[in-house]
Structure 1
Amino acid sequence: MTLFDRYTGTDSSDDTRDTKRGLLFSLVAHGLLLLLMVVGFATAPDNPGPVQVELWAQGTVADAATPQDQPKEKQPDPQPEPDPKPTPPEPDDSARQAAQAEAQRQAQLAAQAQAQLAEAQARAAAAAQAKADAEIALAKERKAREDMERRLAEQAAQEKAQKEAAEKAAAEKAAKEKAAAEKAAAEKAAAEKAAAEKVAAEKAAAEKAAAEKVAAEKAAADKAAKEKAAAEKAAAEKAARAKAEKEAEAKRQALRAAMRGDALEAAGIPSGGADRNQRGGGGNDGYGAKVRACVKRGVVYNVPPRNGSANPTASFRTRLRSNGQVQSVDLTRSSGNPRFDDAVQKGILACSPFPKPPGGKYPSYIDVDYRMYD
């Protein structure tokens, strides 16, 4: 580091460094100019004589005192000496010699003054030239410094841009490589998954086909077995219904005969031709009327107004225990109205135990015919 750089502080900021350098150059230029002026004034004659004033009254002597404000001027051509005035005839040789001596002295003074003026002008011109050179040097140095700083800034900006571009390119490359790797991994995983799913689907399809085949065979066997069982069951049920109907009819006839006999016996009548079934038959205290009254208390059904001669009838076979309790109620013939059938069935169940027959012994079952409009 030079003394100039140490003084101007190159480590400081650009604005402070420029200010210090400008101030230093200004002080050096003014110091040189002051030195030139002091030297010029010191070498000037103390008493230039009156000839200098008379010869250069219209010149630039007055302006030479401040040469720093004057531009460089061309040296003025020396003025021709005035023609000597015709001298009158000298009275003698001594007077002529004295006049010649005086003229020579005046010429020497004029030449001396002219030489001093030329020297002062040269010093002023040299000072002005030195100042101009100093300013030019300062401008050149400033321009060189600015160019250097500009080049350094451009170089730094270029390096920064190149670095950023390189970093961006590296980041983009890394991102592309990462994306490619992830894509390849995803494709590989997808391919493996698809293969596994395909194998699983084929296995499931094979298992499903085998299961469907087994199920179809089992369904066919079950269907055949069900059809056979249904046919056998239908045949058995048909036979059982026929047998049950036959037995029921026989029992119904026997019960009617027994109830008719019991009712007649309770009424003290040895015989009679009136139907004394559950409708009550003849007498106010017939067993059929008691059964109907007992069942009717439990029948909850809003009987609609009668329309025509139709009288829906629900027939039930009611199995009784030995104490008259209802064991079961089976619908043997529907009235065509499920709600009415259900209400009558509930009424029969509610009539438990049944009224005791006149003979004192409950039959095993009683066929109850319940008409809607009786």
Structure 2
Amino acid sequence: MTLFDRSTDSEGQPDGRDDRRGLILSLAAHGLLVLLMVVGFSSAPDNPGPVQVELWAKGTVAEAAPPQEQTEQVPPQPAEPPQPEPEPEPPKPDDSAQKAAAAEAARQAAAQQAQLAQAQARAEAAAQAQADAEIALAKERKAREEAERLAQEQAAKAKADREAADKAAKEKAAKEKAVKEAADKAAKEKAAQEAADQAAAEQAAAEKTAADKAAKEKAAHEKAAADKAAADKAAKEKAAKAAAEKAAADKAAKEKAAKEAAAKREALKAAMRGDVSEAAGIPSGNADRNQRGGGGNDGYAAKVRECVQPGVIYNVPSRNGSNNPTASFRTRLASDGKVQDVNLTSTSGDPRFDDAVRKGILACSPFPKPPSGRYPSYIDVDYRMYD
């Protein structure tokens, strides 16, 4: 700490100790000045030098001689009694002693003046030093206050910059969060819309398929009714002819019945060997080919097709020529007839039709129970588009 450092309180402001220190310095300087003056006066001689006085009396009145110059007032001396009249021509007194005393007094006065001048110079130097110290102290106080002001301004600016940066960071984070939430919401809405569109498309396809099926069934019923009416008419027309030909017809019928019975026996044997040909959309007859325990017949293939067909949702295009795309699948079954796996073994050439048939097979779970009562480990299903 330097001589003129100022103490500060807990808030950085100068306290009252600096003022007390300046007051103490000022008092010390003035005390030194007074001490020097006292020392100067005390060093002067207590008694003035000898003074010689000549008294001349004219007549009966004595007149004092003019006093010599003294630096200090000398107490008046008592008047001497009148002297007798001098002789007409008194001798001239010797003034060497008087001159010596005057010189000594002048020397002592000069010495006192020099001491006073030195004391005054030292006092002025002390006062100047005190003034310089106070000026330096004031400058230092001002510089420190300026430094404190600048430090406070810099701290306030740094705090403002930091708060602005924090605010900008928070705003940026909030904006990014809002953008992300908006993007997530848009993605969810898009996915929901796509799912809704797909469901609507599937429902429309199912409704169209159902309508097409109903129209086909109606046309089939109408055709059956027309065929029956035509058959009834033909039967009536041929009733007479039938009577005439009854004998021949009975004979031919017996022969035909015998042939049909033989054909049925052969078909039953072929079904048991897994070589029966199936109709109703499963032309290869694979629905019964792998049944364990045998017992295959034409009715089981129809049951499989009736089970699979409602689940096949596909807009069948108009047929062009004799082409009839066929999708072949190997369907693995559990012991209770539930579908475990469906593998495409031969494609129809239309992936959408293949997928629709696969979904129809999966929807047919469990499969119809075979005539033998036991499910095979797998069934090969061939599904034609236009059957």
The structure with the largest helix share of the pair is 1
**When the two structures are superposed, what TM-score results if normalisation uses the length of structure 1?**
0.39
Quick check: which has more Rg, 1 or 2? Answer: 1
**When the two structures are superposed, what TM-score results if normalisation uses the length of structure 2?**
0.38
